[in-house]
Structure 1
Amino acid sequence: MSTYQKAQQLLRDTLPELASHLRESHFDELEGEQSQAINIFKSAGGASTLVKEKYGGKGLSAWQAVQLQMAIGGASPSLAIAAGMHQFSIATLQEMAKVGNGLESLMLEGISRSNLLVSSAFSEGQIGKSILKSQIIAKEIDKGYVISGVKKPCSLAHCMDLLTASVQVEPKSGEPYFAVAMIHKACEGISVEKFWQAPFLKASQSEAVVLENVFVPHSMLVNVDEKSAYQSHVAGFVWFELITCASYLGMVCGLVERACELGRLQDSDKAKVHIQLEACALSLKAIANDMNDQTQDTLAQVLSVRYHLQDVLADVTQNILSLVGGINYINTGYFATIAQVIHAFNFHPPAKHAMYGPLNQYFDGQELEMV
């Protein structure tokens, strides 16, 4: 049994209602703007899958989280992106809880208890700006902070219950500093604006979330010292890359499965592509099994895996589409959609070309510096 088949079994065992919905729904329905996939993910208990048992969640391991994302990605790319945003946010909160002031633990318990979906406003992909420096500003006032800024794109924009955001705090006195704010969707001043114009991944709800003078009390903002801030970024990026890689790997596994169902792969073609995808999955498994203490080494390793996956998945997709043939490509929107979606893997931060310099420094024995 392949890793992808085991992943599908894990989805059926962990979230049977979601597995049934994904199996019984047409691809176009799952990927359309009116898709109910995110709502089913939530109602099926998906919000608590990665939350540790001590906080009331299902407590899936990092490797199980990878498998779950693979299975979801194979059925619905949009849901994989949206669910991945939530899982990344949960993982980051749990990493922060190791050194936090208790707020993170309380939030995780509330997320599990009330089955809340969490979106993220951390790295912002703006040309020429560092992904580590937040463009969201929190100005200190007497009873808390007022936060303003825009996160775009932000998946789960409509369905999120909570937003976790890295902010640049402007205190009444002293120098600005980094912090993490936890904001309820119901807070006054939060709005969602249309942003996503691409014809694919529409069901991921990747729109612009606008924060305009949103009040957040002191209790909902976590001050992070410089060392902890850096470690939080490292841990967050490791989880983000792991979850994102799993999602796109699952999408290509789903593509191969669809091509096999059409009888378009000969024995040699089938074996070759399964070997490539299985090797990719084992690379992610190696990272997932070493997630107790995320270091610069872990980050460099997961980035290396991610950039290698970009090339492998692009090659596999192109080869499979050529075997599928023009008539199948023309007669269904599935294949054209997958072709576009897989290309989007390149656009997730940090971009490969931007990291060549820092990775070369790391491979030469120096510290890895994020851009």
Structure 2
Amino acid sequence: MQFMEADNHTCDTLMPGLRKSLAVTSLSELESEQSGAISLFRVHGGPNLVVPVSYGGTGATALEAVRAVRALGAVAPSLTVATMMHHFSVGSLFGMAEVAGTPALEAALRRIAGQRMLVASGFAEGRVGQGILAPTMQARPVDGGFVINGVKKPCSLADSMDLLTASVALPAPDGSTDLGLALLAADVDGLTVHPFWSTFALAGAQSHEVRLNDVFVGAEEVLVPQPEVIEKLLELHGVGLIWFQMIICAAYTGIASRLVHQVLERSRGSVSDRAALAVRIESAAALTEGLALRVDSGDTANDTLARALVTRYAVQDAVVRSVGQAVELLGGMAYVSSCDVAYLAAAAQAIAFHPPSRTSTAEGLLGYFAGQPLLVG
């Protein structure tokens, strides 16, 4: 089997023609803010990758998803990083529909699948101290609905999103706040996008600031779960974190794999050097696939969340080391003759910046290894 053959085959099967369409464009153009990669992703069915078949989606398994994401990461890093947040948002929405579905949410989900909509994430998405459902926006009741205010930054897909999904804090009569879930059209009055991402790496992910300033939404557009349902929704916290770490691992393993593939293709370094490099990046892929198989088996309990964090940090180490070794083996002429090597090396480092950080989870992991349940955030 050739390097990444299973990943490329899975991607081509689930999103026919996408890799080929992306491959005819230079990396520098794909990674720019003006990139057309996200549009190609939509045309080739990418938005429906993890949408259930019952809603008209592709219905990829976790294993299929991580293989497809790795393959895309090796071709278009910014696209892959941007759309992993779409997959996260879509997965969260369909999970919520199972435990707190409403006719309005059901209709929205079918519209998302039918129109291949891109959904940006306004969830906390695993930030330290917050579950994925922790409110990131404030909602004020008015006649006929709510007025929402808040900011999300960075917000991937800010320029291309069709919908923004977010958790909102709803004031309760006793002065506390209740949880609400909002699904907002990108062109709603009061929603604006502002420049935020200033570095060249992953500029094509459109990770900018999204502001909601007195955005009115109808009452039917905000899901207000009953207290007994909220408990079930909170169980999605752990499931969301598992998927989040799994997709991060796949995306950045793919970015690093592009550099590894160049080393193998050009026969750089000794046979031992190349073999060691291939083994290291394939170990990262194997760890990610192992986690995906566990998810596909239906095991998303606390032990699997711990495995997800272990996998994430192990893959992070493997990616960073693989990139450094690949850059060295490719040599100085490859580095100075094209921006691609330096760009991929810089983009791959961003794996360290996705939450939760090692520091924030260290105490929880040590407690888990001492026999306690894993607590994150």
Structure-1-length-normalised TM-score: 0.94
1:191–1:210 contact (8 Å) kept in structure 2: yes
Q: Counterpart in 1 of 2:213? A: 212
Q: Counterpart in 1 of 2:170? A: 169
Q: Counterpart in 1 of 2:316? A: 310
Q: Kindly tell me: are residues 280 and 173 of structure 1, through their superposed partners in 2, closer, same or farther at Cα, counting changes over 3 Å?
A: same
For residue 130 of structure 1, what is the amino acid of its counterpart? Answer: G
Partner Cα distance (1:229, 1:3) in 2: 40
Q: Could you tell me how far 1:13 is from its partner in structure 2? A: 2.4
Q: Could you tell me how far 1:76 is from its partner in structure 2? A: 1.1
Q: Superposition pairs for residues 228-307 of structure 1, below 5 Å?
A: 228-291=232-295, 292-307=298-313
Partner Cα distance (1:229, 1:271) in 2: 45
Q: Could you tell me how far 1:2 is from its partner in structure 2? A: 5.4
What secondary structure, in the 3-state scheme, does the structure 2 residue paired with 1:98 have?
Answer: helix
For residue 209 of structure 1, what is the amino acid of its counterpart? Answer: V
- Deviation per residue, 1:40-72 (Å, 9 max, x gap): 000111111211110011111111110111011
Partner Cα distance (2:64, 2:125) in 1: 28
Partner Cα distance (1:141, 1:232) in 2: 30
Q: Superposition pairs for residues 91-106 of structure 1, below 5 Å?
A: 91-102=91-102, 103-106=104-107
Which segment is superposed worse, 134-143 or 76-85? 134-143
Q: Counterpart in 2 of 1:115? A: 116
Partner Cα distance (2:32, 2:84) in 1: 18
For residue 347 of structure 1, what is the amino acid of its counterpart? Answer: F
2:139–2:170 contact (8 Å) kept in structure 1: yes
Q: Unmatched 5+ residue regions in structure 2?
A: none
Q: Could you tell me how far 1:81 is from its partner in structure 2? A: 0.6
Q: Counterpart in 2 of 1:23? A: 23
Q: Counterpart in 1 of 2:196? A: 195
Q: Could you tell me how far 1:234 is from its partner in structure 2? A: 1.4
Q: Counterpart in 1 of 2:45? A: 45
Partner Cα distance (2:130, 2:340) in 1: 33
Q: Counterpart in 2 of 1:359? A: 365
CA RMSD in angstroms, aligned pairs only: 1.8
What secondary structure, in the 3-state scheme, does the structure 1 residue paired with 2:235 have?
Answer: helix
Identity %: 34
2:90–2:119 contact (8 Å) kept in structure 1: yes
What secondary structure, in the 3-state scheme, does the structure 1 residue paired with 2:182 have?
Answer: strand
Q: Could you tell me how far 1:141 is from its partner in structure 2? A: 2.2
Q: Counterpart in 1 of 2:130? A: 131
Q: Could you tell me how far 1:124 is from its partner in structure 2? A: 6.9
Q: Could you tell me how far 1:106 is from its partner in structure 2? A: 2.8
- Deviation per residue, 1:76-127 (Å, 9 max, x gap): 110111111111111111221221223443322111111101110112798x
For residue 313 of structure 2, what is the amino acid of its counterpart? Answer: Y
Q: Counterpart in 1 of 2:184? A: 183
Q: Kindly tell me: are residues 125 and 228 of structure 1, through their superposed partners in 2, closer, same or farther at Cα, counting changes over 3 Å?
A: closer
Q: Counterpart in 1 of 2:80? A: 80
Q: Could you tell me how far 1:22 is from its partner in structure 2? A: 1.7
Q: Could you tell me how far 1:341 is from its partner in structure 2? A: 1.3
2:31–2:202 contact (8 Å) kept in structure 1: yes
Q: Could you tell me how far 1:173 is from its partner in structure 2? A: 5.2
1:80–1:247 contact (8 Å) kept in structure 2: yes
Which segment is superposed worse, 268-277 or 36-45? 268-277
Q: 1:343 aligns with which of 337, 345, 349?
A: 349
Q: Counterpart in 2 of 1:322? A: 328
Query: How many residues are aligned here?
Result: 369
Partner Cα distance (2:141, 2:244) in 1: 30
Q: Unmatched 5+ residue regions in structure 1?
A: none
Q: Could you tell me how far 1:278 is from its partner in structure 2? A: 2.1
